[in-house]
Chain A
Amino acid sequence: MIKLVNIHRNFQVGEQTVHALNDINLEITDAEYVSIMGPSGSGKSTLLNLLGLLDRPTSGQYFLNNTNVTDLDETEQALMRNKSIGFVFQTFHLVPRLTAAENIELPLVLAGIPEQQRKDRVAAALDSLDLSNRADHKPEQLSGGQRQRVAIARATISRPSVLLADEPTGNLDQKSGLNVIEILEALNHKGITLIMVTHDESLGARSTRSIRMLDGRIESDTVPGK
């Protein structure tokens, strides 16, 4: 469960203050499938980064699974990121020197999970994403679609309750983009809360809830098909 109360995020650019998020109030229940759309610069990424605890709001409260995470200190937030949140980036952000398996393993390594348990879980993740024969490949040896699948496996390996994706298909061709969306939707069907930023109207239409942003505000919050 996610709840945002009066969230503001200002950026100071020289003399000027940019209101990237301007009084956002939002509630998202478990296992929802939410798409966030809007013109460039409307604050979509800023919102998603706040939700992923990659950034802190200038003011306002953020509750995640009934915890006020805005009050948490740095170490507690790190634990939250590790356990409760998965983040998928447009540019994958894989560690180039590590193999696909090692990249997927990273959150478990950071959590201090014993090696054997890690191997089992990584093998299962690789298998479910059809990557088993790519386990020992470095990112540069993988296609864009494969890289994003590795990134998804890494984001979900800790079994988080929320999966955030910022234009996950932005760097992919249509076919592998669709494949990635189907994987994310399958994860959503199994119960994960999926929040995805996209520019693609047809992808946005697939979600069960569509949020449109403009100038740092929520312009509309609709359930398509209703």
Chain B
Amino acid sequence: MLLTRDAIKFSWQALTANTTRTFLMLLAMSIGVGSVVILTSLGEGARNYVTAEFSALGTNLVIVIPGRSETSGGNPATMMGVTERDLTINDAVALTRNPDVLRIAPLNIGAAEVSWQGRKREITIQGSSHELLKLRQWKMSQGKFLPKMDLERAKSVCVIGNKVRNEIFGAHSALGQWMRIGDRRYRVIGILDSEGQSLGIDIGDTVIIPVASAQSLFNVPSLFRIFVEVKTRAAIPEVITFIKETLRERHQGVEDVTVITQDAVLATFDRILGALTYAVGGIAAISLAVAGILIMNVMLVTVSQRTSEIGLLKSLGASEQNILMLILIEAVLLSTLGAILGFILGQLGSWAIRSAFPVLPAYAPLWATFASLFVAMLTGVLFSLLPAKKAARLNPVDALMRH
């Protein structure tokens, strides 16, 4: 019987001697595996980007919005001709009176012209409290965030984003400076470290002032949002009931607010995320099919080219099993090499995407990587074994005389 060592040597010689075939096969393999890895990393990157955007909202978050949500059907308040009440600072304070509520932060939003020593820019201004920092999991690079104080107090201090700091203050030190926002002056007490988007606002390009200051600056009595962070995920339903009841009591029995959870927001986008997942899967499946067909063709062509050699080996006393063993070893060597090359190509590709688009976490999902390696190896081995099996069954003379 043919020794395994000799079989491996023979197969290796076949691979290294037939460079065109080996090159074609490696090309097909690496394009196949590589494209699956790159394309799925792109799709997965997009999916992760969207998911990350929403989880950046913070954990166990409940958001209170003034007015009844249109999606919940008719609005009893407007139907009865009752005007909706404002969401006030006192409403926000009332929501802290529940042991399951960890912290709350009111929010007001407006745009105003910000200026310092002649430099001016129109910037999104957020009015809130010192709890916002922890609630949104932001970090400070310099100074302090808004001080802990009575929410009704309008103190003339502000916290600015990185971009604001760079564009308004340039090389000057921003901390302690008096900056003009609209027609008032605020002292800069801190600079945010965080970057990226949050609820559509560029964190670097915003100014945060106490909520009472914002109300008088923009002259709006109602809050835009109240963020409520709940201690545990399990307590969220109870807290929502508590919020609705508390606010109905405070609003003369009219339920005129909408309470949404982060889960609900995520659920809304679940369809988008789901579609993205399917898209990634579809991309992977198509690339795999293309890779499989490429590999299959190269293998079919090359094995039929070698039918005459198979005939010769049979005439020298090789059994069917000997032939299959030789072809199998060759296919496994080739497929493994191709799969490794394709994997490297794919990693390089997705690395290039990450370098070009840093916001996209373009990492190929594990399942796609393994599936592509598996399919590539399987088609490589299968489509060299099947025709080889056919050739090995031929009469030696029939195989020998084929060209």
Q: Which residues of A contact B (CB under 8 A)?
A: 49, 52-56, 74-75, 78-83, 87, 93, 95-98, 106-107, 109-112, 115, 154, 158
Between B309, B322, B396, the greatest number of chain A beta carbons within 10 A of the residue's beta carbon is seen for B396
Q: Which residues of B contact A (CB under 8 A)?
A: 1-3, 6, 10, 13-14, 17-18, 309, 312-322, 395-398, 400
Contact assessment for A56 and B395 in the assembled complex, using a CB-CB cutoff below 8 Å: yes
Can you give 6 A-B contacts (C-beta < 8 A)? A109-B2, A110-B313, A110-B317, A111-B1, A112-B3, A115-B6
How far is A82 from B2 in the complex, measured between Cα atoms in Å?
A: 12
Tell me the nearest residue of chain A to B9, going by C-beta: A109
Q: Which of these, B13, B17, B318, B400, contacts A110 with CB under 8 Å?
A: B318
Contact assessment for A81 and B314 in the assembled complex, using a CB-CB cutoff below 8 Å: yes
Contact assessment for A55 and B397 in the assembled complex, using a CB-CB cutoff below 8 Å: yes
Between A53, A55, A56, A110, the greatest number of chain B beta carbons within 10 A of the residue's beta carbon is seen for A110
Chain A residues contacting B3 (CB-CB under 8 Å) are 109, 112
Q: Is the interface of A mostly helix, strand, loop or mixed?
A: helix
Contact assessment for A78 and B319 in the assembled complex, using a CB-CB cutoff below 8 Å: yes
Tell me the nearest residue of chain A to B4, going by C-beta: A112
How far is A187 from B18 in the complex, measured between Cα atoms in Å?
A: 36
Known interface pairs A97-B13, A97-B18, A98-B13. Does A111 touch B320 (Cβ–Cβ under 8 Å)?
no
Q: Which of these, A49, A53, A75, A82, contacts B320 with CB under 8 Å?
A: A75
How far is A53 from B320 in the complex, measured between Cα atoms in Å?
A: 14
Contact assessment for A112 and B317 in the assembled complex, using a CB-CB cutoff below 8 Å: no
Chain B residues contacting A74 (CB-CB under 8 Å) are 319-320
Tell me the nearest residue of chain B to A158, going by C-beta: B317
| Distance in Å: Cβ of B116 to nearest Cβ of chain A | 78
Chain A residues contacting B316 (CB-CB under 8 Å) are 81-82, 106-107, 110, 154
Tell me the nearest residue of chain A to B320, going by C-beta: A74
Chain B residues contacting A55 (CB-CB under 8 Å) are 395-398
Contact assessment for A78 and B17 in the assembled complex, using a CB-CB cutoff below 8 Å: no
Chain A residues contacting B13 (CB-CB under 8 Å) are 97-98
Contact assessment for A54 and B400 in the assembled complex, using a CB-CB cutoff below 8 Å: yes
Contact assessment for A110 and B309 in the assembled complex, using a CB-CB cutoff below 8 Å: no
How far is A83 from B318 in the complex, measured between Cα atoms in Å?
A: 11
Tell me the nearest residue of chain B to A86, going by C-beta: B316
Tell me the nearest residue of chain A to B392, going by C-beta: A74
How far is A87 from B317 in the complex, measured between Cα atoms in Å?
A: 11
Contact assessment for B2 and A112 in the assembled complex, using a CB-CB cutoff below 8 Å: yes
| Distance in Å: Cβ of A28 to nearest Cβ of chain B | 20
Q: Which of these, B10, B320, B397, B398, contacts A109 with CB under 8 Å?
A: B10
Q: Which of these, A49, A83, A87, A112, contacts B1 with CB under 8 Å?
A: A112
How far is A115 from B316 in the complex, measured between Cα atoms in Å?
A: 18
Known: A109-B3, A111-B317; 10 extra A-B contacts, CB below 8 A, are A49-B397, A54-B400, A56-B395, A78-B319, A81-B316, A81-B396, A82-B318, A112-B1, A115-B6, A158-B317
6 closest A-B pairs by beta carbon, nearest first, are A82-B317, A97-B17, A78-B319, A54-B397, A54-B396, A81-B317
Contact assessment for B313 and A106 in the assembled complex, using a CB-CB cutoff below 8 Å: yes
Known interface pairs A54-B395, A98-B13, A110-B2. Does A78 touch B314 (Cβ–Cβ under 8 Å)?
yes
Chain B residues contacting A80 (CB-CB under 8 Å) are 317
Chain A residues contacting B10 (CB-CB under 8 Å) are 109
Chain B residues contacting A53 (CB-CB under 8 Å) are 396
Contact assessment for A97 and B2 in the assembled complex, using a CB-CB cutoff below 8 Å: no
| Distance in Å: Cβ of B8 to nearest Cβ of chain A | 12
| Distance in Å: Cβ of A124 to nearest Cβ of chain B | 19
How far is A49 from B397 in the complex, measured between Cα atoms in Å?
A: 7
| Distance in Å: Cβ of B40 to nearest Cβ of chain A | 39
Chain A residues contacting B317 (CB-CB under 8 Å) are 78-83, 107, 110-111, 158
Tell me the nearest residue of chain A to B318, going by C-beta: A110
Contact assessment for B312 and A95 in the assembled complex, using a CB-CB cutoff below 8 Å: yes
Q: Which of these, A54, A79, A97, A111, contacts B315 with CB under 8 Å?
A: A54
Contact assessment for B2 and A93 in the assembled complex, using a CB-CB cutoff below 8 Å: no
| Distance in Å: Cβ of A14 to nearest Cβ of chain B | 17
| Distance in Å: Cβ of B394 to nearest Cβ of chain A | 10
Chain A residues contacting B314 (CB-CB under 8 Å) are 54, 78, 81
| Distance in Å: Cβ of B4 to nearest Cβ of chain A | 10
Q: Which of these, A56, A78, A97, contacts B318 with CB under 8 Å?
A: A78
| Distance in Å: Cβ of B251 to nearest Cβ of chain A | 89
How far is A56 from B393 in the complex, measured between Cα atoms in Å?
A: 13
Contact assessment for B2 and A81 in the assembled complex, using a CB-CB cutoff below 8 Å: no
Contact assessment for B319 and A75 in the assembled complex, using a CB-CB cutoff below 8 Å: yes
| Distance in Å: Cβ of B11 to nearest Cβ of chain A | 12
Tell me the nearest residue of chain B to A157, going by C-beta: B316
Known interface pairs A78-B318, A110-B318, A112-B3. Does A93 touch B312 (Cβ–Cβ under 8 Å)?
yes
Tell me the nearest residue of chain A to B14, going by C-beta: A97
How far is A78 from B62 in the complex, measured between Cα atoms in Å?
A: 78
How far is A112 from B319 in the complex, measured between Cα atoms in Å?
A: 12
How far is A158 from B316 in the complex, measured between Cα atoms in Å?
A: 10
How far is A152 from B321 in the complex, measured between Cα atoms in Å?
A: 26
How far is A79 from B3 in the complex, measured between Cα atoms in Å?
A: 15
